[in-house]
Amino acid sequence: MSVFTIARLELLIARRNMWVATAIILMGLFTVVLTLAGGAPTGTLGIDPLTVALTSITTLSVYLIPLIGLLLSFDAIAGEAERGTLALNLTYPMSRGEILIGKFLAHLGVLGVAIAVGLGLAVVLTIWQHGMTDLSFLPLLKLFGTSIALGAAFLGIGYLVSSLVRQTGVASGIVIIIWLVCVVLYDLGLLGALVADDGGAFTKDVFPWLLVANPADAFRLINTPEVSVSELASGIGAAGGVSGAAGQSASLLLWPVVALFLAWAAFRRIEP
Amino acid sequence: MTTLLIENLCKQYGKLQTVKGVNLKLDAGERVALLGHNGAGKTTLMRMVLGLTPATSGKIAVLGTAAGSRHARNAIGFLPESVAFHGALSGREQLHHFARLKSETTKRADDLLERVGLSEAADRKIRTYSKGMRQRIGLAQALLGRPKLALLDEPTSGLDPISRHEFYDIVEDLANSGTAVLLSSHALTELETRTDRIAIMSEGRLLANNSLSALRQTAHLPIHVHVTTSEADADRIAAELGGERVNGRSITLTCQQDGKIAMLGQITSLGAVIKDVDVTPASLEDLYRHYSIAEEGA
C-alpha cells in the first residue's frame, strides 16, 4: 500500500511542479510538427503515412524520452536529501524499495501519459490528412511499449545518479552528461570505431552487441521499419540484424530492471 | 513492557566516538528530557533508535523489537530537528500522506491539524509557512498513528512562548495516553515543570538520569536568595546577613537546601527594612553546568 501512497504524492508533486504539463507539451508539440512536416513529401510514395510519421517520431523520441526520464528522476533522492525530508520519510514504516518503486510508478505514469498524448496526436493528424485507409497500428503499439521501456531505463539511471551523489546540482549535471553520451556521443564513438576497424572482427562480432547495449540504440533499431531505412541507417540496420529483435528487446527490458536494482542498492546505503 | 530500552549503546564514526556506553530506559507514559549541547550525541542517539544509522555496539529495543524494524517504526512518532517538507504541498496534503503511510484515517489527520492550531492554514502551500508552522505540521505528523514512543528532537525551537506552552500541553496529553516521550532541548527552563525525568548528555556520555528534585539533591547546588531593601540600609544588612551587595538596593545570599528556612527566618526578623525577598532554587541551567563540568573535570 505504501507504494501507491508514495506514487500518489509524487504524482501530485509532479503536477504542481508543472512536470506533467511540460512533458505533455514537449511530446505533443514535437510529434505534431514532425507528423505535419513528415507527411508533406510522402503523399505520393505509397508508403503507409502512419509509418512515415512514426519513423520521424522514433528519431525524436530517442532524444526526448531519455531527457524527460532523466529530468523527472534526478531530483528524486538527492532533492529529498537536500530539502531534509528524506530522514523523516525513512522513519515511516516502509522499505526503501517501496519508496523507490512508488516514485518510479508515478514518474513512469507521467511519461506514459506524455507519450500517449504525443502518439495519439500523431494518429489523429495522420487520419485527418490521409483518411483511415492503409494504416497499420502494430508499429504504433510497438513504439508506445518500447518508449515506455526506454523511459523506464532512464528513470532508473536517474535514480541511481540521484542516490549516488545526493546533491541536486551535481545530479543534474551528471544526468545531462549521461543523456549526451547515450543519445549522441555513444553513436559517434561507435561510428569512429567502425571506420577505424574497416570491416574487421570488431564490425562483425562486437559492434552489433555494443549497439544494442545502449538502450537508446536498441530503441532506435527495434522501431526502424525496413522500408524506410536510409542508406546510412541500412548499414546500422544490417548490423543490428545480428543481435536481432531478441537482443533489442532484451536490452530494453533489462535496462530498466538493472538500473532500478542498482538505484535501490545505492539508495539502501544512504544514511540520511 | 519497557517502551524503550537502551543498553550500553555506542556509536563510532571513524575515530570519533559520538555515543559512549549509554544506558536509558523509558516506560509507557514517561516524559524524559534529553539535555546536552550541540554535539553531545542526542541526535545520534535518536537516529539510532529510529534505525536511521546502525549502532556500533550495544542494544536498542523498542517495545521488545529491534530498532528500525517495521514494527518499531510503526510504534514511533518522530519530530526531527528543523523539520522540512515539500514546499509545493499544502499542510493538509502532506499530513494526509503521512496518515496513509501510518495506516491512519485522513479524518484523524484533520483532527490533528486542528489540535496543533493549523486548521486555518492547512490548505496553503507549506512554502508559505513560518518556521513555527512547519514545526506544528512536524508535531502533528509525529502524533499520527498513536505512537507508543515519541522522539522529539529540539521540538520547541522556532516556537513562541505561547506555542511552547501549547506544545507541552500536547506532550502531556500524549504521555497521559501512555506514550513514552523522549525530547531533547536547549531551552532548559521550560523543561522544569514539564518532564518527569532529565537525562544529561555530554560528549557522548549520559552523565545524569533522574528526576529534577533528585538531581538537585545530588548536586548540592546552592539556593539563591535575593533581598531588596532601601539604599541606606543595603550595606549594613549585607554585612549582617553575610551576603553580597549587587546594586543600590539588592543583596544576594546563597545557602544550601537545609539552611533555607533558617536564613529566611533571619531575614524576616530584620523587619521593615526588608522590602522584598526572592528565593531561586538551583535552575536546570545550574544543574546542567554542574553535571557537564563535573564530567570534564574528572
- At residue B269, the pLDDT reads 85
Cell numbers describing residue A40: 508533406
* Adjacency order of strands within the sheet including B31-35: B76-79, B149-153, B180-185, B31-35, B197-202, B205-210
What number is the average pLDDT over the span B29-57?
92
Q: Do B121 and B256 have their domain in common?
A: no
Q: Which of A249-258, B236-245, B275-284 has the highest mean pLDDT?
A: A249-258
Q: Which residue of A12, A93, A95 is in closest CB contact with B89?
A: A12
Strand partners, B90: B125
DSSP B89: S
Q: Is the pLDDT of residue A178 over 50?
A: yes
Write down the pLDDT at residue B256.
Answer: 84
Q: Which grid coordinates are listed for A36?
A: 505535419
Question: In this structure, are B123 and B242 located in the same domain?
Answer: no
Instruction: Tell the residue number behind the cell numbers 577505424, with chain if given.
Output: A196
Q: Which of A1-10, A112-121, A163-172, B248-257 has the lowest mean pLDDT?
A: B248-257
CATH number at residue B181: 3.40.50.300
Instruction: Look up the pTM and report it.
Output: 0.88
Residues B76 and B123 in one domain: yes
Residues in A 129-188 with any Cβ partner in B closer than 8 A: none
Whole-angstrom Cα distance, residue B223 to residue A236? 90
Are residues B227 and B98 located together in one domain of the fold? no
Provide the domain count of chain B.
2
pLDDT at B128: 96
Lowest-confidence pick of A39-53, B23-37, B57-71, B139-153: A39-53
Domain end point (choices B196, B217, B238): B217
Q: B149 φ, ψ to 5°?
A: -135, 125
- Cell readout for A148 is 515506455
DSSP-assigned states of every residue in B27-86 = -TT-EEEEE--TTSSHHHHHHHHHTSS--SEEEEEETTEETTSHHHHHHEEEE-TT----
Q: Are strands B274-280 and B223-229 parallel, antiparallel or unpaired?
A: antiparallel
Backbone angles phi, psi at A173, to 5 degrees: -60, -45
Domain for residue B138, yes or no? yes
Q: What is the spatial distance between Cα B109 and Cα B118, in angstroms, rounded to a whole number?
A: 11
Q: Chain A contact for B93, CB < 8 A?
A: yes
pLDDT 10s digits, B217-268: 888 888 888 888 887 778 888 888 888 888 778 888 888 878 888 888 888 8
Looking at per-residue pLDDT, the higher value among B247 and B151 belongs to: B151
B198 shares its domain with B276: no
Q: Tell me B125's DSSP state.
A: B
Least confident of A24-33, A159-168, B284-293: B284-293
- Helix, strand, coil proportions of chain B in percent (round to 5)? 40, 30, 30
How far is Cα B150 from Cα B83, in angstroms, rounded to an integer?
15
φ, ψ of residue A149 to 5 degrees: the values are -65, -40
Write down the pLDDT at residue A230: 45
Residue B36 located in a structural domain: yes
Burial of A152 by CB count in 10 Å (0-12 exposed, 13-18 middle, 19+ buried)? buried
The sign of the dihedral angle between the CA atoms of A130, A131, A133, A134 is positive
Q: What is the pLDDT of residues A260-271, one digit of tens each?
A: 999 999 999 998
* C-alpha–C-alpha distance, residues A130 and B57, integer Å: 74
What's the gap in Å between the CA of B36 and the closest CA on chain A? 22
Q: What percent of chain A has pLDDT over 70?
A: 89
Q: Is A272 on the interface with B (CB under 8 A)?
A: yes
> B250 and B203, same structural domain?
no
Query: What is the per-residue burial (b if ≥16 Cβ within 10 Å, else e) of B92-130?
Result: bbbbbbbbbbbebeeebbbebbebbbbeebbeebbeebe
Beta-carbon contacts of residue B269 (< 8 Å; ≥ 6 apart) = none
B123 and B170 in a single domain? The answer is: yes
Do B240 and B200 share a structural domain? Answer: no
For residue B298, being part of any structural domain is answered with no
Provide the ipTM: 0.88
Would residue B145 count as lying in a domain? yes
Q: B113 to chain A nearest CA, in Å?
A: 18
Contacts with B74 from chain A: Cβ below 8 Å: 93
pLDDT for the residue numbered A226: 60
Q: Which residue range(s) make up the domain with B159? A: 4-217
Span B54-74, average pLDDT? 94
Nearest chain B Cα distance for residue A6, angstroms: 8
Using the Cβ of B101 and the Cβ atoms of chain A, whether some distance falls under 8 Å is answered with yes
Taking the C-alpha atoms of residue B211 and residue B186, their distance in angstroms, rounded to an integer, is: 18
Residue B46 has a pLDDT of 95
Sort out which chain A residues have CB atoms less than 8 A from B84's CB and list them: 83-85, 88
Which of A12, A88, A94, A103 to mutate against chain B (most B CBs within 10 Å)? Answer: A88
Q: Evaluate if residue A83 carries a pLDDT over 50.
A: yes
Band of pLDDT at residue B153, cut at 50, 70 and 90? very high
Task: Examine the pLDDT at A231 and tell me if it is beyond 60.
Answer: no
The reply to whether B246 and B179 lie within a common domain is no
- Domains of chain A, by residue range, sit at 2-268
CATH number for position B256: 3.30.70
Residues in contact with A269: Cβ distance below 8 Å, sequence separation at least 6, in sequence order? A163
Q: Is residue B168 part of a domain?
A: yes
Confirm whether B95 is domain-assigned. yes
Q: Is residue B296 part of a domain?
A: no
Please indicate, yes or no, whether residues B233 and B189 belong to a single structural domain of this protein.
no
pLDDT of amino acid B193: 80
Q: Do B148 and B14 belong to one domain? A: yes
Provide the pLDDT for residue A204.
79
Tens-place pLDDT, residues B161-207: 888 889 999 999 999 999 999 999 877 777 778 889 999 998 899 99
Q: Which residues of A touch B138 (CB under 8 A)?
A: 88
- What's the mean pLDDT in B99-125? 95
| Domain end residue (candidates: B194, B217, B240) | B217
Shared-domain flag, residues B147 and B258: no
Q: Chain A within 8 Å of B146 (Cβ-Cβ)?
A: no
8 Å CB contact of A88 and B89: no
pLDDT in tens, A89-98: 999 999 999 9
| Closest partner CB to B86 (pick from A85, A93, A271) | A85
Q: What is the rounded average pLDDT of the residues A72-82?
A: 95
Dihedral angle at the C-alpha atoms of A98, A103, A104, A106, nearest 10 degrees? 120
| Radius of gyration for the alpha carbons in chain B, expressed in angstroms and rounded | 23
| pLDDT value, residue B6 | 96
